Amino acid sequence: MTDPVSRTILLLDIERFSDRDDVEQAYLRRMLYDITDRALERAGIDETRRLRADRGDSVMELIDANAPVTALLRALLVDVPAQLRAVNRMASSSAQIRLRGVVATGYVAVDEHEGWVGTDLNNACRLLDAQLLRAALRERPHDFALIVSDALYTGVVRHNHPGIPADEFHPVGVDTKNGPMKAWLHGPLPSGQKAAPAGTADQDHRGTGAGEAPGSTRQAPKATEPPRVPAQGTSPESRPAPGPVFNFNGAVNIGGGVVAGDQHGVSGGQVTGDVNLGGRNGGDGS
């Protein structure tokens, strides 16, 4: 097996292929190959920069990673729908061709039997078979539905290159046998499907660095009370047990007079300094 090589992965699949007879299937396969070849030529990707695998009702292309993905996406968004309209205008109802498409990126190896091996390729095939993509095509008035992998959206689509409007792609969660997978569907979502949270790398790592993102709800650590220091001349063993604690909310007036000097209570309490428990003249504090 060869070492894995970074590739752009293109998958195109014919809708309702198995519902046709042999003659119709042969015709649809020819149309699929013609449409794929014209789209790749339009993108400037010749046969020396790609490998093709035939899957009956679908075609798989491994494209050199140095080929411009932006040109491929523009061809899929503009040229492929135009070709499908032209073909279907002249075809009978039984020979109408409608396509699901996937564009992904990842590492793929080729084994000694010319088979393709790679987790990224497996994930692209799961996107092609997703019920969400099938439902999207069924509800489209035109003949093409495209989904791209999350990695390809992040690396290319979201940057809004000319001819690739990022706001036309919607984040979706695709259910697979290995769990949910995030992808981006071009065009309207199928009925009953809600867009998945978009998310960004900045949001995913919020609060893990030195700073906090604006609007963070992280609570500041509670201030700790400083340790109490024993009064001079006393040891921890000789200090009396703490008396009752009173908490007052708001202003508190206690009538009484002035206590001058240091005072020692019979219960072991101690007052140091002058204490004023009323007004200036020892009144009732009013």
Q: For residue range 180-211, what is the model confidence (pLDDT) as tens digits?
A: 899 999 999 999 887 888 764 333 333 333 33
Q: What pLDDT, on the 0 to 100 scale, is given for residue 165?
A: 97
Helix (H) or strand (E) holding 175: strand 169-176
User: Residue 242 — pLDDT band, cuts 50, 70, 90?
Assistant: low
pLDDT value at residue 194: 79
pLDDT tens for 246-285 read 554 554 444 444 444 554 444 445 545 554 544 444 444 4
Q: Output the pLDDT for position 76.
A: 98
> Rounded CA gap, 29 and 99, in Å?
12
Who wins on pLDDT, 216 or 28? 28
The mean pLDDT value of the chain amounts to 79
pLDDT digits (tens, 9 = 90+) for 102-124: 999 999 998 888 889 999 999 99
pLDDT, tens digit (0-9, with 9 covering 90-100), for 4-20: 999 999 999 999 999 99
Residue 62, token pair as written in the block: 């491994």
Among 130, 156, 125, 153, smallest CA distance to 62 is for 125
Domain-wise residue ranges, the chain: 5-199
The tokens for 112 are: 């000694």
Q: Which of 16, 31, 66 is nearest to 46 (CA)?
A: 66
Cα–Cα distance, 9 to 101 (Å, whole number)? 10
Q: Which two tokens stand for residue 164?
A: 């690739």
Q: Residue 109: what are its φ and ψ, rounded to 5°?
A: -110, 155
pTM above 0.85, yes or no: no
pLDDT of residue 123: 95
**Mean pLDDT in residue range 125-154:** 96
CATH superfamily for 5-199 is Nucleotide cyclase, GGDEF domain (3.30.70.1230)
